[in-house]
Every structure is written in structure tokens, then in C-alpha cells.
Amino acid sequence: MIKLLFFYMFALSSVIAGIAIIFSTNIVRMAYWLIGMLLSLAGLYFLQGSYFLGVIQIIIYAGGVAVLMVFGVMLTSQQIAAQLRPKRWEVLWLLVTAIMLLAGIVSAILDARWSQERVQASNNVSDFGIHLLGKFLGPFELASILLIIALLGAAYLARPKVPTLKSENNPK
């Protein structure tokens, strides 16, 4: 009962965050509504008993990715009218599409029959580590290589560029 109450609280806050992003005009507010959604989802993970994943979500998503986005927002939002509120007919089309898609997925969820054998996953951190370095060793190493590639790529792409003297017709 209490669990259901908490579920609805977190679920409502994440959905409200999403709707607020659609109707918002200020990009910084959108970024902070995203942070609200990330924290609500972390709360949902805590509610389900996966504490480790909840704290990882907060550390990496809310404390890393969201900070990155807030930085990106603050470095590129010099002009204010980059985003206007969506017009009424746009909202209508969006609503129709969204409801159709949602109806499709929800009916698929409600009609599906999941397998009856339930294997209780242990939420122990050490089991998690053993799993990560045992069965998922390949993806683990590949993820670290991916992170190195992303780090190098982002650092190269965002390097300070020295303005060179070249004619405007010369594409580069």
C-alpha cells in the first residue's frame, strides 16, 4: 500500500517532468526538469530494492550527464528565442501520435504473459561485481574501450580552434 503510494508519487513526478519539458520555453528549466525526472527514476530504483543501481543513476546521470547538459545549455543559449511554445495544431498532432503509440504499447503489455518461473535476483553488491566481471566481462571491457573512445572523441571535437586566415569560399 505504502509501496504503491510511493510508486505513484515518483511516477507522477517523472511524467509531470516530461510534460513540463514539452510545454516549457526556457532551456535551462528543461534541463532541470530532466534532473527531476532522473531523481524520480532513482527513487523508483530504490523502491524496487536495487540500491546500487539507484546510487549509480544519481552519480552518473544526475551528477554527470545532467551537469554536462546544463553546461551545454549555458554555453549555447545566448539568444533567448530559440524555442517557442508549440502551436496548438502541433500539440494536437503530438497528442494523437502519442496516444496511439501509448495505446499500442500498453495493450501489448497488458496482454502479454510473462514466464511464471520467478528467480529472485539478489541485490547484493558483491554478487553484482562477480556478475559484472564474470558473465559480463566482454561487455565490461568493451564499455571501457567505448568510454575511452568517447573521451578522446569529445575532447578532440571540442578542442579550441585557432582561427586561420582563409578565404570564405574555401570549404574545410
Partner 1 sequence: MTELQHYLILAAALLVLGLSIIISKRNAIAILIGVEFILNAANLNIIAFSSHGIGGLDGQTAAIFIIVIAAAEAAVALAIFLNFYNIIATIDVDRGDKLRG
Partner 2 sequence: MLVYARKKIEYHGRSKQIVELGIALGRFAGPLLLRMAPVIFFSAILGMILFSWIVARFVNPHVPWFVRDVIAITGIILFVSLVAITGIWGERKISGRMQSRLGPMRTGGWHGWAQSLADGLKFIQKEDLIPKSADGMMFRLAPYITLVPAIVAFAAIPFGVDWVYRNLDVSLLFVLAMLGIEVLGVVLAGWASNNKWGLYGAMREACQLVSYEIPMCMSLLVPVMTVGSIDLIDLGQAQTGGWFHWLIFRNPFIFLSFFSYYIASLASCKRAPFDLPEGESELVAGFHTEYSGFRFTIFFFAEYTVMFIVSALATIIFFGGWNSPFGDRTGGPLWFIAKCGALIFVQMWIRWTLPRIRIDQVMHACVKYLLPFTMAVFIGSSLWQLFVSQTFVTFALISRYILGTFALGMLGILMLAFYVVWAVFGYMNSPLLLGRLARKHLPGA
Residues that bind partner 2 (CB under 8 A): 26, 28-29, 32, 35, 51-52, 55-56, 58-59, 62-64, 66-67, 70-71, 74, 124-126
Closest CB to partner 1 among 68 and 165? 68
Closest CB to partner 2 among 9 and 70? 70
CA–CA gap between residue 2 and residue 131 (Å, rounded): 32
- Partner touching 90 among partner 2, partner 1, none, CB below 5 to 8 Å by kind: partner 1
- Partner touching 133 among partner 1, partner 2, none, CB below 5 to 8 Å by kind: none
Least separation, in Å, of the C-beta of 67 and partner 2?
5
CA–CA gap between residue 86 and residue 77 (Å, rounded): 19
C-alpha cell at 110: 497488458
DSSP string, 45-65: HHHTT-HHHHHHIIIIIIIII
Closest CB to partner 2 among 59 and 98? 59
Least separation, in Å, of the C-beta of 129 and partner 2?
10
Least separation, in Å, of the C-beta of 36 and partner 2?
10
Q: Are 19 and 11 in contact (CB under 8 A)?
A: no
Closest CB to partner 2 among 1 and 112? 1
How far CA 24 is from CA of 32, 67, 70, in Å, comes to 11, 19, 16
Which one, of 5, 74, 138, lies nearest residue 66 by Cα?
Answer: 74
